[in-house]
Amino acid sequence: MVQIGAAVQSALQALPRVVRNGPLMLSIGVPLALGQVVGLASLPAVFGWYIPKLRKPSWAPPAPIFGQTWAVLYGVMGTASYLVGKQVGWKSYPMGVYAAQLLLNLAWQPLFFMLKRPGVAQVENAALFG
């Protein structure tokens, strides 16, 4: 019982840090969570179409790499958005551009895997380059 009380007390002491770091946590957590949802929704298509049926070049990365790569990508994008938002403001043009590219990034997996439209996904990739 003493350990539970100490854990609760420790959590309560950490609460001001959590609130203070809320924008950072949201900046990283939101793209990670959205990416996780899209990734999980795409899994049946990855295992039902991409891995067994789609012809891939010999240099194509192994399918398990995709999940880790997307997680790192979204984490880095979230960190960058926090740094930019803190510098120029959360309701600024750069943050609007970030939001648009995040939506395009999130749309790529459903386009490619779920709708099985690699050509459309490639056009969407081109839109990310502006």
Q: What is the DSSP letter of 117?
A: -
Q: 85 falls in which pLDDT band (50, 70, 90)?
A: very high
What's the predicted TM-score (pTM) here? 0.78
- Determine how many CB atoms are found less than 10 A away from the CB of residue 27: 24
- Which tens digits make up the pLDDT trace of 14-56? 666 656 678 999 999 999 999 999 999 999 998 899 888 988 8
